[in-house]
Structure 1
Amino acid sequence: MTKIDLICYKNYYGSVHFDSQEELFFGKIEFIRDLVNYEAFEAKSLVKAFHEAVDSYLEDCNNK
């Protein structure tokens, strides 16, 4: 079984992965139908990118 780290913002969950070759953090919003990815070179920046991805996703949902 693979352990997946999750972060939470506005009741949305995002995965946290690290690519050691690229030295890049990345993830996607989990438990939604759409595919929404985010990435950053630092962990702190990944949280910010996740928050921005959630906010953008919510805005897109409200505009439909």
Structure 2
Amino acid sequence: MNSMSYKGYTARIEFDERDDIFVGRVLGVRDIISFQGASVAELRTEFHLAVDDYLADCAEQGISPDKPASGKIMLRIRPEVHAAATIAAQAAGKSLNQWADEVFERAAHS
């Protein structure tokens, strides 16, 4: 995935061949935050402006902006998977949270 990050927000970047422009969309928030640019430099500038505008709009309305992630996650998994993960964490000398954090990181970056 082609992406950009700014102020903790990440955007997916695609190239629109028909219009000959780069198009981006901020991920991990409920609101639709999109932007575009004819060059990478213009795209980056528009991304920064879109995030800054979003944050300013939230402040003006007195609402908290969505954060991409809180760091807390609740999963429902099969008991046998939970047991196997617990055993794998213990075998690695780690808590289940530490082990899961490493597994999620590897999966997210593969």
* TM-score tier after normalising by the smaller chain length: 0.7 to 0.9
**Gap runs ≥5 in structure 1:** none
Secondary structure (helix, strand or coil) at the match of 1:38 reads: strand
Structure with larger RCO (C-alpha < 8 A, sep 6+): 1
Whether 2:31 is the aligned partner of 1:43: answer: no
More strand by share: 1
Aligned-residue sequence identity (percent) comes to 31
Q: How many corresponding residue pairs?
A: 61
Amino acid at match of 2:20: E
More helix by share: 2
**Gap runs ≥5 in structure 2:** 62-110
4+ aligned runs moved over 4 Å, structure 1? none
Whether 2:70 is the aligned partner of 1:57: answer: no
User: What is the TM-score of this pair, normalised by structure 2?
Assistant: 0.53
RMSD: 0.8
